[in-house]
Every structure is written in C-alpha cells, then in structure tokens.
Structure 1
C-alpha cells in the first residue's frame, strides 16, 4: 500500500490555515474597540502601579488586568520603561497603547507618540503624617478579628485581595492593616471613589460662590438655546439623574471605557452623548456626568492639569493632610474625575472624616454648611444621593448591575463612596466611624466589608459597655 504524497495533504492544510487566518481577522475586526480598550487599560494601570503606587506592575497585571482580559490575556504584551516613565502595551504588536507618568499628576493615556502634555507636573508634597509613621495595630481582640474578617479569603475561586483597611473613630486612627507590599503611604487606585472627591471640589466651588447646584451646568458645549442638554443642572449631574445614559455596563466596551481609553478629550465626548430621558426623571449610573463635573472644576481652575491639581491640593488635600493623593487627567488636562484618583487608605479615611464633620477640618470650613447632609439625601427612589451612595434603600437592586443598593447590616444613616473592584469609604455618623477598604476584588464574590464594618461597630459597642478606655494614640 503506497503512502499518501505530501501534495495530497497540502491543499487541505492550506485551506485550514486560510480559514484560521480569516476567522482570526474577523474576530479582530469585530473586537477592535475591545482590544484598544484592553491595551489602554493595561498601559494606564501599570503606569500608575510602577510610578504612582510604586508596587510591582507584574503583580498588578496578574491580579487586576489579566482577569479582565478573558481569552486574550495570553496575547497581551507590555513594557515598563522606568527611565522614560512610560508603559506601552499591545495585543501581539497590534492595538498599541501608551501611558506616561508626570510627577505630581499621575499617569496620562497618550494617543499616539507625541509629546507628553504638561510633563513638568508638580512636586510631590513632603509633609509628616499626622497619624504618625507606625501602623496602628488594635489591642482589642474584637477589633483584630474584624480586621481578620476584612482580609479573609473564604472562596479561592473569587479572591478578595484586600490591600488596605483603615478605621477612624471619633477622628482617631484606631486600627489599620495592609497587604504585603502596601503601607500607610501607598497610593491605591480608588476607581469611582474619585466621584465623591470631585463632588467635594464642586462643593468648594459652591462655597466660594463660583457655582450653584440648582443652576444649569455652565458648559460651553451646551451653550446653544436649542440644545436639550442645556437644562441639565449641576445637581442633576451629581445625582446621576441628568438624563444621560447608564454608561458602565458589563463587558469591556461601553461609553465609559471608550471615554477613558479612546478619547483625548473626555468631557467633549461626554457632552456629545444624547439624552435618554428628560433631566431629573430617571436615574442611571453616569461616568459621563462626572466627566462633565470634572470639566467644570477644570474650567474654574485654569483649564490645565497643573491648575486643577494645584486647586485640589490647596483647597482639599493639604487642609486634610492628604499628602499621598493625585487625580489623573486626560490628554487635554481635564481631571478624570469619574474614576482615576490614587490615594493612600489613610488619605481616603481623612476624606471620609471631612464628611463626618460636616465639611470642617481643623476648625476650617472646607465644604458648605450642610453639604454632607445634601450628599446623602435621596435621589428619586434610589439608594444614591448626590455623589455618594446611601443606605436608605435595602430592597431591590441597582439597575443593569443587579447589585444591592446598600448594606442592611449597617445603620440607616450610613453613606459611602464606592469604586470598582471593592473600593469603599464608609461613613457612619451615628457611630462617629469611618472605614476604608481598598483592594482588587476583580473576580466577583464580594468583599465582606459590610460584615467587617458591622463587626467593628460591635467591638466598639462592647468597649463602651465594658467601660474600657479608648484605644491609645
């Protein structure tokens, strides 16, 4: 029996290879946006890891970015250039993305190989931490168990990867814990906790008489009398009932990810987005709204990255002692206030304390009187306030996400800033308590921070009942 010749196999193999190449080309063409978003996300995240947080970018890629890449993680390539302060990434050499570090301004996603804007940036502040250099480990066993709960990993298939927990009671630091490689000075990505910080900067402009929440948002892009956006107020942008669409849906491609990683001018993109509802009639989670609020902050502070960051430092960060904080910007200099602030867990706790103290820090009024109460006042029939989540609704779920509105195990007056992958600044006025939790809970399963906070409250109540002295400072 004769053996088949190679010629007999050549045609089928050629056809198979052609089919595979065609299928690959179709997949690439259909997923161009997702691949561009993926490389933009990788470049920006790893740039911040290396140069802002100063943690291992390879570890951040493995814990944060790779789980988001699904089937393309094997094809992603990235380089961290510590000399130039840049990170570049691609998918097998295609869909390149570049992010560059600017001292005092964080990282910026660059669109092309041009010059980095405002590369000089600002000097990082050098100031002592008012909480002291040592990590505060609680003596109370119940508080230690509560921290254990916050760092527990009950489900290996859904790792929580808690990186930092900080607890303030009556304005005093009573407990904290950090994952290996992290500490009291490590700036960590706050994601949408940034929205609440932008809300504070809007509040400062209101206190200064430069904005009013009940006025139409003074955006040049909406200046035409015939523009339906023109009626949208600052309050409606803060409350996410502006009529702009629910823009952060499941999957890598949505208006939010496009805005962050594909647009040089985030606010211009947000301003072009058509309305889905008349303003004030429907709630929808809105990164677009906070991009526009960030534009208002930028316009009021000179329209540059340095101007906006200097304003945030002078009016908010410095008075609170937040010396390890930065809000990144887009390529035009507008703050990326929908989700790109990095701060230490202690700094985020100081921010929460500002709202616990009705906008006053060290005897100096930062926010308008009553601004904290306004922040947690209910929007429509939702569990959202004005730039903060609330605990007023414990039934039903957030539209689209199918996630709970609040934390029923905590007091009703609790309100909180919240960010993707388990970032929380929890404020409980009735308990004089602030709890910050930061981590990389990318793969679902929850963080357990609601139960951990309830355990903290229970521990503080036991101390009061037993007549124990306050924790030493």
Structure 2
C-alpha cells in the first residue's frame, strides 16, 4: 500500500509539474486558434467547421475549441475550457487578438482603397482571363503536373496557378476554394514588406544604407551600425528565436504582444551586422515600424501599401492585418486570392514595370535576388533563392516568395513563368523540384 501511495504521489507531482510548464502554452494555442478562426471566417468567408477540421487539425492547435459571433465579428477559443482568447475583426484592418490593452486600440483609422476598374483581362485588369491557346505550351503535359500536385491528399494543395507570358495557362482549386477566395500568405507577406522599401527607394525617400538606430542614445555601439539592408537580409546580428512550438520570441510577438514592432528592436545584438544570418519575423515587423516612422501620420502609413503597390497593380482582394496599435503585421498576415498573389509575382517577373508604369527601380530585382552572406545561397533580401541549387532540375535564377505550410510564388525569368501554390502542408524541396520540373517540361 505504501508503494502504491508513493507511485500515486509521484504521478500527481508529475502532472502538476507538466501542467505548470505547459499552462502558459495554452495562451498561445487559444491565441492562434481564435486569431486564425476570425481571419478565415471574416476575411475568407469560410465556415467554422471547415476551418476546425482542416486548418486547426495540427499538433496542439487541435486541442482548441472555437466559437464565432457574427454579431460582433469575433472568435473565442479555449483549450479544455481554459485560457480563453478573443479575436475581433474590423473591416479594412483584419482580425486582432484582444488583451488588457484592447480598449486602447483605435479602429477608426482604416486604409483608403482605390479599386481601379477597367475592361482588361488578367493580369492588368480583373475582367476574366484571355481565352487563348499558346502554341509553345503542351497543355496535356501541364495537366499531368496539375494532377500530380493534387492527387496525394497528404500534400494538402489548395490552389495551383501557372502564368506564362502574362497569361494564365493553368489554374485549379480544391473544393471550397475558388479564384475569389483570399488565402493567408503567412511569410509571403514579408516580400510585400520588402517591395514597399523598394518603392520608397525608387521614389527617392529611402536608402538601403539608412541606419534607423543611429540617433537613439540607448542603441549606441553595434546596434547603431545596423542598416535597412542588414534588416532586409536578416543579417543585423540581433538575437531572435523563430520557434513556433514553444514560448519564444516569435510566439510571444504574434500571440501576446500589442505592438509587434518592438520585440526585435529591444533584443540584444549578439553579432556585428553581416556576421550571422538569422531568419526573423521580428525583423520584418521591426521594418514595418520603421516604415511607419517615414510618414507624418498614421493614415499615410495605412494608405501607402495600397496606394503605391496593392491597388496600383489590381490586387483588390489583398488585406494586410494590423496589430493592436495599428502596425501592419507584415511578417505573417497578408491575405489575397491566388490570382492576386500571382500578380505580385508578375510585378517582379516584369522587373517592376506594371502595364507601362514603373513601381520600383530596374535594379531592385537584382538587389533582392542577390545571395546574402552566410545564408548558403538560400536568401536574398526578404526573398528566397535557388542559388544553392536546392531545386536541382530548375535554373538557379529562380527566386521565390515563401510562407508557412508551403505557400509559394516561384519566379523563373528565363521561362517567363510565375507559379503560385497554396496549401496546408509544407512540401519538401524534392516535391517542389518535381512540380516545377513537370510544369517547365510543358513549355517548349
């Protein structure tokens, strides 16, 4: 009996210890679930059950339980009834996680949108697509590539779109998704942030050698030497832990912070700029905060991405979500339809020229696709590269826009090709290599 009591006591102690160390994680789980649910329901017009059975069927997140209120456009999530978190949706700003500072948030300022209407087909308008057949495309081979991309349910591909010579030559969606369904790009949004800096540079308002901390007394020393270039290349030397499966820099920022621009700013510097490469969502949101500082008013900051990029190229479906203090969360929270994500890729394929209007310098593509020191040829300036040949059957000129769970925009200039893939499961380099190889094989 004494032995049984000892074992029982040890078991109870183990449960208490386990609960003590894991209870804080419930905040992150319910935070992710409520935020993701609110965004999917109110931005993408999806159903709670569909999101629960698909998007939330992942480790830890599947422990959450969500409810949605259409009246106040909110979602609440708990884990076993514990740690409730609420996310509220506001038209024009997206969904935001609430906390004890939520009442301070000003929802009155929203971006001004300019939706340009014309009779042009994709990509320079939204009046359908061209009903033409390109002589150099083997559509039967292309159909095989699409079939292979969707045949394995474990791949969880949601949409695939191929653009060649500015024309859509292939497009497919799973049930429940259409050309009009906005899809979360996750870290694809980082490349949107970089593009905003490219636009500012072209307009003569920003230099990549600008040192944003040079005038801050508390940031003397190595921090004062950090440039915009260092930040765009993730080589600032600032400490950062990009681990989504524990309480880390990135999870605290996305699911606990009111102001997501300060997490990276306040971190210590652990190496001189350019000495190390360290992928950091905090760096992107720091850049979003620095971007905000370039404008006299919050309204100008909110309007800038739409006026100078998004609405200008007809990405009418795109929505950039903000944090509690009104900063764009450009590390992670950009939504757009598959066609509009393709337009973003085409802007780069066309070297910044959009139907006769230049948005960024003709040298910008060379800048963002130049390999960053210590990234082993995989990263440029907020864009991913194939310079190391990780896709061995694809030209090393390829560069891409990457996001969590296999969101991709591949840009292959020599083939005049943009490929957009969205889904719920990260693909291996081998899988992406095969997909691209099959698509390219269909183009003569």
TM over 0.5: yes
State the TM-score, normalizing by the size of structure 2: 0.89
**2:148 equivalent in structure 1:** 149
**1:403 equivalent in structure 2:** none
**1:330 equivalent in structure 2:** 323
Asked if 1:41 corresponds to 2:40, the answer is no
**1:435 equivalent in structure 2:** 419
Quote the RMSD (CA, aligned, Å): 2.9
Distance 1:452 1:230, change over 3 A: same
Greater shift after overlay, 77-86 or 128-137?
Answer: 128-137
Distance 1:452 1:275, change over 3 A: same
Query: Does the 8 A contact of 1:424 with 1:436 survive in 2?
Result: yes
Query: What is the DSSP-based 3-state SS (H/G/I as helix, E as strand, rest coil) of the residue aligned with 2:311?
Result: helix
Asked if 1:295 corresponds to 2:286, the answer is no
Query: What is the DSSP-based 3-state SS (H/G/I as helix, E as strand, rest coil) of the residue aligned with 1:182?
Result: coil
Q: CA deviation at 1:124?
A: 6.9
Q: CA deviation at 1:95?
A: 2.0
Q: CA deviation at 1:289?
A: 1.2
Q: CA deviation at 1:179?
A: 1.1
Q: CA deviation at 1:97?
A: 1.4
Q: CA deviation at 1:152?
A: 2.5
Q: Aligned to 2:210, which of 206, 210, 215?
A: 215
Q: CA deviation at 1:317?
A: 0.8
Q: Aligned to 2:257, which of 231, 252, 263?
A: 263
Show structure 2 runs of 5+ residues with no match.
Answer: none
Greater shift after overlay, 46-55 or 57-66?
Answer: 57-66
Q: CA deviation at 1:23?
A: 4.2
Show structure 1 runs of 5+ residues with no match.
Answer: 1-7, 395-405, 462-473
**2:267 equivalent in structure 1:** 273
Asked if 1:73 corresponds to 2:62, the answer is yes
**2:306 equivalent in structure 1:** 313
Query: Does the 8 A contact of 2:259 with 2:325 survive in 1?
Result: yes
Structure-1 separation of matches of 2:82 and 2:132: 48
Q: CA deviation at 1:223?
A: 4.9
Q: CA deviation at 1:432?
A: 0.7
State the TM-score, normalizing by the size of structure 1: 0.84
Structure-1 separation of matches of 2:50 and 2:19: 27
Asked if 1:160 corresponds to 2:152, the answer is no
**1:468 equivalent in structure 2:** none
Q: Aligned to 2:407, which of 419, 423, 446?
A: 423
Structure-1 separation of matches of 2:11 and 2:55: 31
Query: Does the 8 A contact of 1:240 with 1:289 survive in 2?
Result: yes
Asked if 1:178 corresponds to 2:173, the answer is yes
Q: CA deviation at 1:228?
A: 3.2
Q: CA deviation at 1:302?
A: 5.0
**1:469 equivalent in structure 2:** none
Q: Aligned to 1:86, which of 31, 56, 74?
A: 74
**2:355 equivalent in structure 1:** 362
Structure-2 separation of matches of 1:253 and 1:39: 13
Structure-1 separation of matches of 2:304 and 2:50: 33
Q: Aligned to 2:384, which of 382, 386, 389?
A: 389
Aligned residues: 431
Q: CA deviation at 1:57?
A: 3.0
**1:402 equivalent in structure 2:** none
Query: What is the DSSP-based 3-state SS (H/G/I as helix, E as strand, rest coil) of the residue aligned with 2:243?
Result: coil
Structure-1 separation of matches of 2:111 and 2:379: 35
Query: Does the 8 A contact of 2:101 with 2:258 survive in 1?
Result: no
Structure-2 separation of matches of 1:315 and 1:198: 12
Structure-2 separation of matches of 1:136 and 1:15: 73
Query: Does the 8 A contact of 2:237 with 2:270 survive in 1?
Result: yes
Query: What is the DSSP-based 3-state SS (H/G/I as helix, E as strand, rest coil) of the residue aligned with 2:172?
Result: strand
Query: Does the 8 A contact of 1:131 with 1:173 survive in 2?
Result: no
Query: What is the DSSP-based 3-state SS (H/G/I as helix, E as strand, rest coil) of the residue aligned with 1:167?
Result: strand
Matches within 5 A, 1:124-135: 130-133=125-128
Structure-2 separation of matches of 1:178 and 1:112: 40
Q: Aligned to 1:352, which of 324, 334, 345?
A: 345
Q: CA deviation at 1:243?
A: 0.7
Alpha-carbon displacement from aligned partner over 1:224-262 (angstroms, at most 9, x marks no partner): 462532211000100011112353236243211111111
Q: Which has more radius of gyration?
A: 1
Greater shift after overlay, 309-318 or 119-128?
Answer: 119-128
Structure-2 separation of matches of 1:65 and 1:410: 34
Query: Does the 8 A contact of 2:149 with 2:155 survive in 1?
Result: no
Structure-1 separation of matches of 2:205 and 2:266: 25
**1:197 equivalent in structure 2:** 192
Structure-2 separation of matches of 1:349 and 1:108: 27
